[in-house]
A = this chain, B = another copy of it.
């Protein structure tokens, strides 16, 4: 099942096939990725600086249709950087530090516009720390600093889209997660009155590890909603809604799905009408959101159509986004499928959906159902690839509430 990705090869190919076009499209002459000791810039590894121990810089300059690629790293950091094959030149600094080299290189390139990893609303595009931003000012002086802009849009286009090889790995990651959850939501694993949340979580972990994947997150929950809480030793009982929100990493690529089951009470043939309705509305909201995932749409437009299914059914709107991009992280760069709550999501909901992006879609209604012990939700979350012609749901979507016997 595993596809044996060569991740260094993928990174090189991404830079060669995507970066120049992204820079031209967003008007950035120089993308300066400036990382620090124990780097916290999540883009460091994407541009070949993932193994750098001391302060380092990646300079990507787009000049006359050609991409110039230089790295500046400490003398003892050159080997792994050269080995990436990403850079035309790797400059080593010694005790003089990175500053004189960085100043000289930037002055020589004389870019009109320097993109930095600074963003209010896109975490992965915000890897430049404030201390490092101050250091850049100290190194480059006010005149060059006046040319700084946020590289946010470049980062969204560059990292948000996936190559075909990466999409293949993501499909496999989703397939493993779906099979894991399907195998957990059976009467073999869930024995009402005996099985605890943590037992189900343990089953999921073992399942994906046997497939060569690792757990990204593992939420198993019965009874009233507890947000992103850990699985507990709460025993699963008849009448419970069992919700699993689970994802795994396969070769670095993350899946993120949710499935919900109802534990039949003795004598019941189906769920209470309130639960059935909650499932039906949530499913409709999810499908509506998926259908809207088309190139050119904005994140907030997808959110709007899914959200209005929930509110149109008379439920209260949910206090979070309808979905988010997935990829190298459970929350990948790219448009947030969320409402225009400026304080919360800023400009990320205005970003435009592009082919090659992958999203997790998870609208929900939180409803107080006394028969379920409080405020519950039905979790349905699907992973969806955006193609030129529209959405493509990965794996097999949930279409019916899973019923488990008592």
Contact = CB atoms under 8 A, between A and B. Distances in A.
Q: Quick one: which of A130, A132, A150 has the most chain B CB within 10 A?
A: A130
Contact of A124 (B38, B120, B133): B38
B97 A343 contact: yes
Contact of A40 (B40, B83, B97, B138): B40
A259 B226 CA distance: 50
Nearest to A342: B97
Interface of A: 36-38, 40-42, 51, 53-54, 74-80, 83, 94-100, 116, 118-121, 123-135, 138, 150, 226-230, 319-320, 329, 331, 339, 341-344
Determine how many copies of this chain the complex contains: 2
Given A120-B134, A131-B120, A132-B126, A97 B228 contact: no
- Interface of A (DSSP majority class): loop
Contacts of A341: 95-97
A368 to B, nearest CB: 15
Contact of A79 (B74, B125, B228): B228
A95 B38 contact: no
30 contacts: A38-B42, A38-B123, A40-B41, A40-B42, A40-B123, A40-B127, A53-B228, A74-B319, A76-B227, A77-B227, A77-B228, A78-B227, A79-B226, A79-B228, A80-B229, A80-B230, A83-B230, A95-B344, A96-B343, A97-B343, A98-B343, A100-B343, A116-B130, A118-B131, A119-B131, A120-B134, A120-B138, A126-B130, A128-B129, A131-B150
Nearest to A333: B38
B123 A135 contact: no
